[in-house]
Amino acid sequence: MTKTIYPGQTIGIIGGGQLGRMMALAAKEAGFKIAVLDPSMESPCGQVADIRIVAPYNDETALEELAEVSDVITYEFENIDYEGLKRLTEIAYVPQGAELVRITQNRITEKAEIRKANVPVAEYIIATSPLELNAQIDEIGFPSIVKTAFGGYDGKGQVMLHNKEDLPLADPLFEHGACVAEAYVPFTKEISVIVQRNGNGETYCLPVGENIHKHHILHETIVPARVSDIILTQATEAAQQIADHLQLVGTLAVEMFVLEDDTIVINELAPRPHNSGHYSIEGCTISQFHQHIRAICGWPLRKPALFQPTVMVNVLGEHVVPLSKAILKYPNWSIHLYGKDEAKTKRKMGHVTILTDDINKTLKEIKHSGIWSE
Ligand code: ADP
Ligand code: MG
């Protein structure tokens, strides 16, 4: 049953990273209180929360405590313990449910559901051992990418195979359980759609973002994506179709490949706000975080529109010092830093958003700033 949650009530968030922080900041504008469960006291979200529960994400007592203080509970990442979340749905109001997490935390169930939604994924096989992988690999051929079914992110838990001789490279992945091997998709672009839906079935997609990765980590999102109108329509329809099939409540990020022949293939799903949607904070009439809060609080959603073409660029550990030195030079840059203490190399520390009337000029400005040169 869909409930309405009002300002003054408390939103509980499992996970205290930057996604939780940006959800919390959006919610606090409307006067909600925030409770966060995270193992660290000074987590990015903990710093802006009203109540901090410091414990592992799957600590049963901590989850009960979160249930006790929260009027509604959401999560900011998908690798939470499914059983724990499921128990939580019995003692607290979790409008997103636990099923979406079960499906998306395992690439095998995720791909199966995408197919059920009638949307294309890359050809794939499932293997529980190197032996099984060897026996089936001819079905997809080379190049192919082997991915652990559980727990991968930012390209971790993946191995690319160019030929049969490469097969042993995938052996260590099986220490983490079953794997999916998929045919390499010769994409021309990577794009993503953030789709958001409330308990009444009201659904909106953010404008399609074009994603540029460096070392398997998102580097830039460019909006609108520089693809044909046919692709924009297909991408939005695919995201909508998946959201309907999954009876989504909350936020789902759909990562896609664009092919030369103007078709798309779905890469993966994330059941939460996504790095490629951060541009919406300044770029759109409603951000992915505000819309997420509206969706889980049973509020009507707002149709997102883009104010202006927008570029988002990620700030990793190695970019923090050069960025600080450049802040005074670029009044048009919106600076976001997540309050993480240690600026480790490749750690996501923040992002910069730039609204522009000339995307190429802005991409050059980013490049010439020297901050992201490596
Ligand atoms: P992660 O969970 O680490 O984001 P992804 O499945 O999104 O894992 O893979 C990371 C990146 O690797 C993708 O953004 C894409 O650039 C590349 N990649 C993954 N799968 C394929 C594929 N089947 N074909 C081509 N490139 C792929
Ligand atoms: Mg990905």
Alpha-carbon distance 232 to 242, whole Å?
16
pLDDT over 90 (residue 1): no
**Angle (CA) 189 146 245, round 5°:** 65
Q: pLDDT band at 61, cuts 50/70/90? A: very high
Q: What is the DSSP letter of 185?
A: P
Q: Residue 358 contacts by C-beta under 8 Å, 6 or more apart in sequence?
A: 309
Cβ–ligand 1 contact at 71 (below 6 Å): no
Distance from Cα 106 to the centre of ligand 1, integer Å: 15
Closest atom of ligand 1 relative to the 152 alpha carbon = 2
CA atoms within 13 A on the CB side of 265: 18
pTM of the model: 0.97
The pair phi, psi for residue 74, each rounded to 5°, is -130, 180
Q: CA nearest 62: which of 54, 72, 71, 73?
A: 54
Distance from Cα 65 to the centre of ligand 1, integer Å: 37
Q: What is the DSSP letter of 260?
A: T
Testing ligand 1's pocket by substitution, the residue of 267, 272, 275 carrying the most ligand atoms inside 8 A of its CB is: 267
> How confident is the model over 328-372, as pLDDT tens digits?
999 999 999 999 999 999 999 999 999 999 999 999 999 999 999
The residues placing their C-beta within 5 Å of ligand 2, an ion, are 255
Distance from Cα 69 to the centre of ligand 2, integer Å: 33
Cβ–ligand 1 contact at 253 (below 6 Å): no
Alpha-carbon distance 275 to 254, whole Å?
12
Average pLDDT over residues 43-48: 98
Domains by residue range for the chain, with CATH? 10-94 (3.40.50.20), 123-183 (3.30.1490.20), 187-368 (3.30.470.20)
Nearest CA to ligand 1 atom 16: 216
> How confident is the model over 110-122, as pLDDT tens digits?
999 999 999 999 9
